[in-house]
Amino acid sequence: MVNVNQGNATMIPTPEIAERIKSAVQVGRLLETAIRLVEVPSPTRSAKVVSDRLDEILQADGFPVERPEAGWPEAPAVASRYETGKPGRILQFNGHLDTVHLPFVAPRVENGLLYGSGSSDMKGGIAAAVEAMRALRDADVLSGGSVLLTAHDLHETPWGDGTQVDGLIDAGYLGDAVLLPEYLCTPLPIIGRGLSVLNINVKRAGEPVHEVLGGIEQPSVIGAGAEIVKRFEALDVELSQKTHPMAGRESMFLGQISSGEIFNQSPTELHLAGTRRWLPGTSPVEVEQQYHDILAEVAAERGVEITGRFQMARDAIEIDPGDPFVAAFQAGHVAATGRELPIGAKPFVDDGNTFVSHGRIPAITHGPDAKGAHTLHEEVPVDELVRVAIVYALTAVAFCGE
């Protein structure tokens, strides 16, 4: 559990400050930023052009921009700051500019909704974070500290591996706490499970052959696959006993299986894919070893070759609900909306897991009430982008200043 003593106390934004921030957030400017980001296709590993676009937007607004490669020179990340020049904490806004590998959908606005690739996941959220920086500058209400905005590629699995975030952290692009505008507007998540993506290939020697011409005598890749399914199902039952009241349970899940060309031919390969999720306190090293041990046992018993990829997405994380950053976020949310959020869990993994486990800073995922992530029908209410911009700016007021 990350519990960082941040030093200075939380500042409660006054109604006057809240009104100044709300007045400083410009809907048209925010929406234009979102559209300009969404209109640039940026599937994972190909985010250079949209990163350049964000660079251009920020510099046109007068913000300084740095372009750290962070281990991925094909699409250098974007880093920008709004600084008061006075002592205080650094609040980081971080988002990914890459999108899943689906056909591109151009942006459009209808009935108060922004549509298009990445509008909900998460170019709309990044635009809201940019607008929060503008509002803080224009309203001149930040009493100290600074805001660091970072945006990057390599987020979406399985195409990306998240390493550009590690590179940013290792290069020192790290605040005292971070907000991430993924599409989760409630609850306030303080815990999240870890995730790995599993890809398994089962092979036998020889060629595909008709079952009555020797195929039935060959080692069965389908039988081996069935044994893997059986053992993973048994493991999932065992894992179901490891639960958390907010985050749910650990799991082993298979969602894909494929093999063979025709019903009466003995195939030489089988493929399975799924996920493994675990709770804080469980070692990902031990989780991976358990996975490989099962595959090795089945391979030896069935006379086949099995290779298994354990693609680590993010480790499990937990932050202290008493952390000053949690209090600052709640203060900002109350000032923006009039209410606190309930404490809860994050159902997915995101870069916040990396900031907690690798950067050792508290991370809160909070974004617009958006729909359609990882589909062709992404949409986000413009009003929600405005709300997020206000919440982010007021959280900065509560967290950064002395």
Q: In the chain, what are the domain boundaries?
A: 15-192+316-400, 194-314
Q: In whole angstroms, what is the distance from residue 129 CA to residue 33 CA?
A: 10
Q: Do 147 and 133 contact (CB within 8 A), yes or no?
A: yes
- pLDDT at residue 3, rounded to an integer: 37
- pLDDT at residue 4, rounded to an integer: 37
Query: Does the predicted model carry a pTM greater than 0.95?
Result: no
Q: pLDDT per position in the chain (402 positions), as tens?
A: 433 334 456 789 999 999 999 999 999 999 999 999 999 999 999 999 999 999 999 999 999 999 999 999 999 999 999 999 999 999 999 999 999 999 999 999 999 999 999 999 999 999 999 999 999 999 999 999 999 999 999 999 889 999 999 999 999 999 999 999 999 999 999 999 999 999 999 999 999 999 999 999 999 999 999 999 999 999 999 999 999 999 999 999 999 999 999 999 999 999 999 999 999 999 999 999 999 999 999 999 999 999 999 999 999 999 999 999 999 999 999 999 999 999 999 999 999 999 999 999 999 999 999 999 999 999 999 999 999 999 999 999 999 986
- pLDDT at residue 6, rounded to an integer: 44
Q: Token digits for 161? A: 């591996």
- pLDDT at residue 391, rounded to an integer: 98
In angstroms, how far is the first alpha carbon of the chain from the final one?
26
- pLDDT at residue 5, rounded to an integer: 38
- pLDDT at residue 11, rounded to an integer: 86
Of 223, 222, 220, 286, nearest to 250 by C-alpha is 286
Q: Which CATH class is domain 15-192+316-400?
A: alpha beta
CATH number of 194-314: 1.20.140.10, 3.30.70.360, 3.50.50.60, 3.40.50.300?
3.30.70.360
Of 128, 161, 197, 179, nearest to 44 by C-alpha is 161
- pLDDT at residue 83, rounded to an integer: 97
Phi/psi of residue 23, each to 5°?
Answer: -70, -30
- pLDDT at residue 10, rounded to an integer: 78
Phi/psi of residue 92, each to 5°?
Answer: -100, 135
Q: In whole angstroms, what is the distance from residue 299 CA to residue 190 CA?
A: 40
In total, the chain counts a number of residues equal to: 402
Of 84, 93, 105, nearest to 35 by C-alpha is 105
Angle, helices 382-400 vs 15-24, to 10°: value is 130
Of 169, 195, 192, nearest to 317 by C-alpha is 192
Q: In whole angstroms, what is the distance from residue 332 CA to residue 200 CA?
A: 46
Q: Token digits for 80? A: 């920008």
The position carrying tokens 């390493």 is 163
Count Cα atoms within 13 angstroms, Cβ side, for 367. 30
- pLDDT at residue 25, rounded to an integer: 98
- pLDDT at residue 401, rounded to an integer: 85
Q: Quick check: bond before 122 cis, omega within 30?
A: yes
- pLDDT at residue 185, rounded to an integer: 97
